[in-house]
Amino acid sequence: MVNTEQKQDKVEHIDAMEVEEDETAKQLRLEKEAATSLFNDLKRNCSLLERAVDTIESRFTTRVLRTLPSIRRRLTAPVLAQVINEYYGSDERKNELLQLLNENVESMDMDTNDKTSSILPEIDIYLHLNVLIYLMDNNELEKGLRLANDTVDRLVPLNRRTLDLLAARIYFYHARFYELTDRLAEIRPMQLAAHRTASLRHDDETQATLLNLLLRNYFVHNLYDQADKLLSKSTFPENAGNNQAARYTYYLGRIKALQLDYTSAHTYLTQAIRKAPQNNVTAGFQQSVNKFFLVVQLLMGEIPERSLFRQPVLKKALVPYLHITQAVRVGDLNKFQEGLAQFGDVFKKDKTYTLILRLRHNVIKTGIRMISLSYSKISLRDICIKLHLDSEEDAQFIVAKAIRDGVIDATLDHNRGYMKSKEIVDIYSTNEPQSAFHQRISFCLNLHNDAVKAMRFPLDAHRKELATAEAAREREKELAQEIAEGGDMDDEDEFYE
């Protein structure tokens, strides 16, 4: 019996070892397949960049940049070093990149001692971009900062149309490294110079990216006047990408909101929300835009829709703003002050605190409007109690201002101390429906114009049409010549006979 049990234990132990070896072999096989797939994707992107240079077509570079999120999730130092070793050959820059990736330079040099090659600037910048992304994801900020500075210095003397999209990404990650190390103010002069150079070269994507980076730089340091001056002295390129256009309209909306131009701010923030991609990747941007959009909408006297607060991407981030919205909707000044005290730190972090402070007057106006709709005649003392005001004089001044601003349609008796509401006027006798329809029609027309501008057509397609037209004209000439010579007259005579 003992020998039988021992044999069974040995068999089970051997089976367990075989299962463990199978799992290890499977894991190694999967890792090898993932590395091979990543290597092939990087080489395919480099081939697309070569094709973009040969054809001078930016759409191939766009295809390469669209694969960045997928490659970023799978990026590893050995595979990246393998691609760098293959494309750089005996170039000195190869050793710098391999050192940043903590790869063995000597073993890499053994394979390419006799190999010399000149790498395309586009492939060079693309590989630098992947190394920057790898260093950022691994939190190696100092290395990434040095490489970003070197890459930007290499970009400045290059004036190639096919580098526009790649240069824009390099400038973005360059600014991101400085922002993560709290040194964003240091690169402001460099960004201004680069933006001026991109404007002179008509590099649309780089120009738009640098303009947004400068605006973000000013906003981080609360330099709103300088941001407004920059906007007044610069223009946003029409051919820039949709993502940069969404960021630009977001910054415009913030500046207009601070300047009390709430109508323009509402328009710009609405455009930013509609232009931003609707997915989980852009959740942070969607939350930031909607926070300012809600506050601006409240400042305009409108109440946001309830469905906006129920969206999965926005539900948790907009909880403090829901509290403020409810206070403004019912005109409860106490509830507004409670929300301001409870979520004050959140509002300051979101940079919406100063705008929300302006909502106090809207809360009072809303309360007065509801009172005027509920009561045909009410004393100032009752208004003071309902709105939780300090004195009847404050209530009198506030009601007088509301009447003057057109918030309510009522009269104020100062001697007897009461407010008397007038009869409700038919809203369709005013210009409000017309203005609402005008706003919607303008949006549809602008959307149609943008769609027409964004249409793409095949290159040199008109030449094919011209060649076809010329061939048709030649056939017509031949046919006319044959008719003039009378070659077809005999056939026509036979037909009539």
pLDDT digits (tens, 9 = 90+) for 446-487: 888 888 887 776 666 656 666 677 777 777 887 777 676 654
Q: For 266-292, b where at least 16 C-beta lie within 10 A, e where not — what string?
A: bbbbbbbbebbeeeeeeeebbbbbbbb
Stated pTM of the model: 0.73
Per-chain mean pLDDT for the chain: 79
Whole-number Å distance between alpha carbons of 257 and 81 = 48
- Please name the residues in contact with 103: beta carbons below 8 A apart, sequence gap of 6 or more: 77, 78, 81
Phi, psi of 316 (to 5 degrees): -75, -40
Is 387 or 263 the better-scoring residue by pLDDT? 263
Is 350 or 17 the better-scoring residue by pLDDT? 350
What CA dihedral angle connects 186, 191, 194 and 198, to 10 degrees? 170
Q: Is the pLDDT of residue 376 over 50?
A: yes
Report helix, strand or coil for 413. Answer: strand
* Ranges 248-262, 291-305, 344-358, 371-385: which has the least confidence: 371-385
Report helix, strand or coil for 159. Answer: coil
pLDDT at 211: 92
pLDDT at 249: 92
- Please name the residues in contact with 388: beta carbons below 8 A apart, sequence gap of 6 or more: 333, 334
pLDDT at 490: 44
Report CA Rg, the chain.
34
Q: Is the pLDDT of residue 40 over 80?
A: yes
- For the chain, the domains span 252-346, 358-423
Q: Is the pLDDT of residue 145 over 60?
A: yes
pLDDT at 460: 63
Cβ atoms 238, 268 nearer than 8 A: no
**Total residue count of the chain as it appears in this document:** 497
Q: Which long-range contacts (CB under 8 A, 24 or more apart) does 386-391 make?
A: 387/331, 387/333, 388/333, 388/334, 389/333, 389/364
Percent of the chain with pLDDT over 90: 5
Q: Is the pLDDT of residue 238 over 70?
A: yes
Whole-number Å distance between alpha carbons of 483 and 402 = 88
- The pLDDT tens digits of the residues spanning 269-279 come to 998 888 888 77
pLDDT at 255: 92
Selection from 125, 47, 51, 52 nearest residue 93 by Cα: 125
pLDDT at 240: 82
pLDDT at 114: 44
Q: Which fold does the domain 358-423 belong to in CATH? A: Arc Repressor Mutant, subunit A (1.10.10)
Cβ atoms 275, 242 nearer than 8 A: yes
Selection from 96, 156, 104 nearest residue 128 by Cα: 96
pLDDT band at 113 (very low <50, low <70, confident <90, very high): very low
Note the helical H segments in 221-358: 224-233, 242-258, 262-275, 283-299, 319-330, 333-342, 344-350, 353-357
pLDDT band at 253 (very low <50, low <70, confident <90, very high): very high
pLDDT at 325: 87
Whole-number Å distance between alpha carbons of 384 and 367 = 11
User: Does the CA dihedral 223-228-232-237 come out positive or negative?
Assistant: positive
Is 455 or 113 the better-scoring residue by pLDDT? 455
Q: Is the pLDDT of residue 316 over 80?
A: yes
What DSSP string runs through 189-255? HHHHHHHHHHHHHT-HHHHHHHHHHHHHHHHHTT-HHHHHHHHHH----TTS-HHHHHHHHHHHHHH
- Please name the residues in contact with 367: beta carbons below 8 A apart, sequence gap of 6 or more: 330, 331, 332, 333, 386, 387
pLDDT at 42: 84
Q: What's the average model confidence in pLDDT over 284-291?
A: 88
Q: Is the pLDDT of residue 21 over 80?
A: no
Task: Give, in order, the Cα–Cα distances in Å from 333 to each of 176, 354, 364, 401.
Answer: 41, 17, 7, 18
* Ranges 4-8, 385-389, 402-406, 481-485: which has the least confidence: 4-8
Whole-number Å distance between alpha carbons of 320 and 342 = 9
pLDDT at 467: 67
Q: Is the pLDDT of residue 2 over 60?
A: no
- The pLDDT tens digits of the residues spanning 57-70 come to 788 888 888 888 88
pLDDT at 52: 84
- The pLDDT tens digits of the residues spanning 71-108 come to 888 888 888 888 888 887 776 777 888 887 876 655 44
Count other Cβ atoms within 10 Å, centred on residue 76.
Answer: 15
Count other Cβ atoms within 10 Å, centred on residue 412.
Answer: 16
pLDDT at 493: 42
Whole-number Å distance between alpha carbons of 468 and 486 = 27
Q: Is the pLDDT of residue 110 over 50?
A: no
Q: Is the pLDDT of residue 115 over 50?
A: no
Q: Is the pLDDT of residue 134 over 70?
A: yes
Q: What's the average model confidence in pLDDT over 137-159?
A: 86
Whole-number Å distance between alpha carbons of 281 and 73 = 13
pLDDT at 53: 84
Of 13-17, 141-145, 393-397, give the range with the top mean pLDDT: 141-145
Is 301 or 125 the better-scoring residue by pLDDT? 125
Selection from 348, 257, 335, 347 nearest residue 298 by Cα: 257
Q: What's the average model confidence in pLDDT over 394-410?
A: 68
pLDDT band at 408 (very low <50, low <70, confident <90, very high): low
Structure tokens at 32: 């090898």
Whole-number Å distance between alpha carbons of 252 and 266 = 10
pLDDT at 251: 92
Strand order in the sheet with 377-379: 377-379, 418-421, 410-413
pLDDT at 15: 55
Of 30-44, 168-182, 356-370, give the range with the top mean pLDDT: 168-182
pLDDT band at 39 (very low <50, low <70, confident <90, very high): confident
Report helix, strand or coil for 379. Answer: strand
Q: Which H or E run contains 136?
A: helix 121-137
pLDDT band at 492 (very low <50, low <70, confident <90, very high): very low
